[in-house]
Amino acid sequence: MNTLQIETAPEFRRLERLFVDIFETHEEMTSQAARYGLDLIQSRRAEGKQTVIGLIIGTTSVGIYREWIRAHREDGFDFSSVVVFNLGEYFPIQPDNLQSNARFLRENLLDSLNIPEDQIHLLRCDIGRAQVDKTCREYEKAIKAAGGIDLQLLEVGRLGHIGFNEPGTQPGTRTRLVTVDETTRKEAASDFFSEENVPEWAITMGMETIMESKEILLLAMGEGKATLTRKIVEEEKTPAVPASFLQDHPNARVLLDIGAAGMLTRVHKPWTLGEVNWTPELKYRAVIQLSEETGNALTRLENTDYNRNHLTSLLRVSGPPDTLNTQVAHTLTGRIWNTPAFFEKKKVLIFSPHPDDDVICMGGTMQKLVEQHNRVDVAYMTNGNLAVFDQDAMRHLEFILRIGESLKMQDTRFLRAIEDLMGVLQQKKFGDVDHPGVQDVKRVIRESEAIAAIETLGIGREHAHFLNLPFYQTGKVKKDPIDEDDVRIVHDILKRLKPDHIFVAGDMTDPHGTHRMCKHAIDEALRKIKADNRPRVWLYRGAWQEWDIHQVDVFVPLSKAEAKRKTLSIFKHESQKDRAVFPGPYDDREFWQRAEDRNKRTAQALDRLGLQEYFAAEAFVFGENT
C-alpha cells in the first residue's frame, strides 16, 4: 500500500498558519489527543487545580473518550478534578433523546468516569424559546466561574464549521441560538432517521467563547476533509470557514490523519517547498499529478512542464523527461488488470460492511473473479437493517399475510405475530428504536436483497455469509465499540474458509464510521493468524470517494456489458433504490449512479494520462497484512 511522504522540517511548514500534527491512522490521532488531555489533567491536579474541558460529539471524539475510559478503568486515572462543558446542542430537544448531544456524552464518556455531577455542564435545550437568552448567559457565567476552558476539543465540520458556528459566523460571537445550516441538517439526517426530523435550531458556544480557551485541539479525519483542511491551515482566515479563525489563537493545534492532511502543500506537493528525497513512489506520484494538472498525457510531458511546476530537481535525479515519462507510463500500464491477468482457482473472500457495499464498490471485479474460476464468498459484516424504511418493512409484512391467504396457510400464531409487528410499526414514534421483531424483518429484507445481487453476478447463495457483528446491533445509528466478540466472528470465518485473497473496505469517509470499524475488526482478526498463512489484502473504496490515481495498485477495466451487469446487481437492493435512508449529506444521486459515474471517471482519468481507453474501471490498493 502506498503511503504519503510526510515532511516535518520548518521549511516545509512555512505555509501553515496553525501547528499541524499528522498521523498514519485515525487511531493514532485520537490516542494522541487523549494522551494530551490526560497529561494536562495530571499536571494541573499536581498543582491543586481543576481542569476545564470543552467536549465534542462525533465519530472522532469516540476514540478519545474510549481511551479516557480505559485509563480510568484499567489504570485508575482520576477524573474527579475535571469540569466539563459541551460545545453545542440541538434546540429544542430532550436530554434523554437518542439524538441528543447530552445523551451521547453521557453514554460515551461521562457515565463511565468519576466526574462529580455538579462539575458537568451540558446545555439545556428542553426549554421554551423565551428562556434561551437567559440559559446562554448563565452558560457563559458558568464557564467564567470555572476559570475558563483549559482545553477545548473541536472537530471540524464539512463546511468548515466548529460546533454550530456555520459559515458566515463572525469572530465576536458568544453562546447563542443559531439556525442550523441545511447541509449540516443533511449530514445529521442519518442520526434522526430523516432530514425532516433534524431540528432547525441549535444552541452553540460562539467563536469568541471558543477562542478564550487556553488550549485548543482541532481534529479532522478522512480524505473528504482534505481540501477544507488546507483552507483552514494555509489560506487567509474568513467567516466562510469559521475554523480558520483559530489561526489567531496562540495555543491551537491541529491533529490530522493522513487522509485529512492529503491536500496540505507539504504532503501534496512537498517539492514546491524544499529539497525532497525522490523515492520511486514520490517520483511516480509527482509525474502523474503533473500530467493531471497540465492536461498533457504522460508521454507528452516536456522540460517546460517540469520546470514551471517546481520539478527541476526531479529531472536532475531522474534524467530527461522522455525516460521518466516512459517509466511512469509503463508502471501505470502494468497496474491495469484485464481478465486474463487475474489469478485463477483461488479462494476469495469479500468483506462487505453493509449488504450492498460489495456490488456497489467491486461488482465488476466480482464478475471477473468468477470468470477465472475462483471460489468467491461474501461476508456481510452488518445486516444494514437501520437503512430500511418502515414502509418497506410494512409492505413485506403485508405481502406475507397475502401469500398466507393465497396458499390457505392460516396458522393462527403466525398470523398474529405478523399483525402484531404491523401494529408496532403503525404506533412507532420518531426516535423509537425498532422492536426486535421489526429489526429482524428489516434484516431479512437486506439479506434477501444481498443474495439476489450476488446471484446476478454468478455467485450462488451458499457463498453468502451473514456475520451480524454485535457492535452494529444497537438498533441505533450510534454503534458499540469493536470488541473481542466481533473479532472472534471475523477470525472464525477466516479460519473456516482459508481465503487466498480478501477484499476489504478501505475507506474512512463513510458517514457513520461503520466501514472503519469493520476494517478494525478484520485487522485484529488477521493479527491472530500467523503471518505466513495470512491472505493477500485488497482494499476498495466505498460509495463516497475513489482512490487517487497514483495510489492505485490495480485497475480493473469494465466493458459496457460488465458495467451494466454490475448496475443490475445493485438494483437488487430494492430497499436502497430511489431513496436511501442514509444517502450522505452532499450527493443526491442514488448509489448505482454514484458507482457508474465513479467507474467511468476512473477510466477517463486513465485516458487523459494517455493510456488505453476503457468504458469504466474499478480501483484497488493492496493493504498491509498487518
User: What mean pLDDT do residues 555-569 have?
Assistant: 97
Active site residue: 166, 215, 449, 590, which one? 166
Q: Regarding beta strands 151-155 and 464-466, do their DSSP bridges make them parallel or antiparallel, or are they unpaired?
A: unpaired
Q: How many CB atoms lie within 10 A of CB 533?
A: 11
- For residue 583, the model assigns a pLDDT of 53
| CA triple 148-153-158, angle to 5 deg | 130
Mean pLDDT of 424-447: 89
pLDDT of 478 above 60? no
325: phi then psi, degrees, rounded to nearest 5: -60, -45
Residues of the chain with CATH 3.40.50.10320: 339-384+449-622
For the purposes of burial, counting CB atoms within 10 Å of the CB of 136, is it exposed (0-12), middle (13-18) or buried (19 or more)? buried
Residue 111: which pLDDT band, with cuts at 50, 70 and 90? very high
354-370: pLDDT as tens digits? 999 999 999 999 999 99
- pLDDT value at 420 more than 70: yes
Residue 74 annotated among the catalytic residues of the structure: no
pLDDT at 194 exceeding the cut of 80: no
Report the percentage of the chain scoring pLDDT > 90. 78
pLDDT digits (tens, 9 = 90+) for 67-87: 999 999 999 999 999 999 999
Q: For residues 493 and 382, what is the distance between their CA atoms, to the nearest angstrom? A: 14
Q: Which residue has the higher pLDDT, 574 or 582?
A: 574
- What pLDDT does 1 receive? 52
Q: DSSP per residue over 228-251, as a string?
A: HHHHHHHSPPBTTBGGGGGGG-TT
- Among 78-82, 187-191, 539-543, where is mean pLDDT lowest? 187-191
Mean pLDDT value across residues 168-197: 85
Q: Tell me what the mean pLDDT of segment 89-99 comes to.
A: 91
3-class state of residue 351 by DSSP: strand
pLDDT at 26: 86
Q: Model confidence at 510, in pLDDT bands (50, 70, 90)?
A: low
Proportion of the chain above pLDDT 70, given as a percent: 95
Instruction: Please answer whether residues 64 and 181 qualify as being in contact, where contact means their C-beta atoms are separated by less than 8 angstroms.
Output: no
Q: Is the pLDDT of residue 502 over 70?
A: yes
The Cα 21–Cα 218 span in angstroms is: 10
Strand 88-91 to 201-204 pairing = antiparallel
Q: Which residue has the higher pLDDT, 195 or 512?
A: 195
pLDDT for position 115? 98
Domain 339-384+449-622 class, CATH top level: alpha beta
pLDDT digits (tens, 9 = 90+) for 243-257: 999 999 999 999 999
Helix H, strand E, coil C: the string for 401-441 is HHHHHHCCCCCHHHHHHHHHHHHHHHHCCCCCCCCHHHHHH
What per-residue confidence (pLDDT) applies to 508? 63
Residue 513's pLDDT is what? 77
Average pLDDT over residues 440-465: 97
Q: What confidence tier does 431 reach under pLDDT thresholds 50, 70, 90?
A: low
Residue range 213-225: average pLDDT? 93
Reply yes or no on whether the pLDDT at 555 is more than 60: yes
CA 451 to CA 161: how far, in whole Å? 41
Residue predicted with more confidence, 252 or 390 = 252
Mean pLDDT of 450-474: 94
Name the CA dihedral angle for 608, 570, 225, 255, rounded to a multiple of 10 degrees: -120
Amino acid at 198: V
Q: Which stretch of 107-116, 204-213, 330-339, 477-486 has the lowest confidence by average pLDDT?
A: 477-486
CA gap 370, 169 in Å, rounded: 54
User: If you average pLDDT over every residue of the chain, what do you get?
Assistant: 92
Q: Return the top range by mean pLDDT from 253-257, 417-421, 515-519.
A: 253-257
Encoded amino acid at 565, one letter = R
d(C-alpha 236, C-alpha 15), whole Å: 11
Distance, CA of 75 to CA of 254 (rounded, Å): 28
For residue 109, give the C-alpha cell: 464518556
pLDDT at 27: 87
- What is the pLDDT at residue 213? 98
Please indicate whether residue 94 or residue 196 has the higher confidence score (pLDDT): 94
Residue extent(s) of CATH 3.40.50.1360 domains in the chain: 21-266
Buried b (16+ CB within 10 A) or exposed e, 385-415: bbbbbbebbbebbeebeeeeeeeeeeeeeee
- Greatest mean pLDDT range, 179-183, 221-225, 377-381: 377-381
Q: How far apart are CA 572 and CA 446, in angstroms?
A: 10
The position carrying cell 492536461 is 295
Question: Out of 35-44, 528-537, 584-593, which region has the weakest mean confidence (pLDDT)?
Answer: 584-593
Inform me whether the pLDDT recorded for 118 exceeds 70.
yes
Fold of 21-266: Rossmann fold (3.40.50)
Report the range out of 99-103, 404-408, 607-611 with the highest average pLDDT: 607-611
Give the pTM: 0.88
Pairing of strands 554-558, 616-622: antiparallel
C-alpha–C-alpha distance, residues 260 and 224, integer Å: 7
Report pLDDT for 521: 95
pLDDT value for 241: 96
* Greater pLDDT, 514 or 111: 111
More confident residue, 232 or 190: 232
Q: What is the mean pLDDT of residues 493-502?
A: 98
Using alpha carbons, list the distances in angstroms from residue 426 to 198, 393, 438, 443, 532. 21, 11, 11, 19, 55
Q: How much is the pLDDT for 479? A: 64
Distance CA 400, CA 394 (A): 10
- Residue 345 above 80 pLDDT? yes
Binning pLDDT at 50, 70 and 90, where does residue 150 land?
very high
Listed in sequence order, the DSSP H helices in 148-225 are: 182-192, 207-211
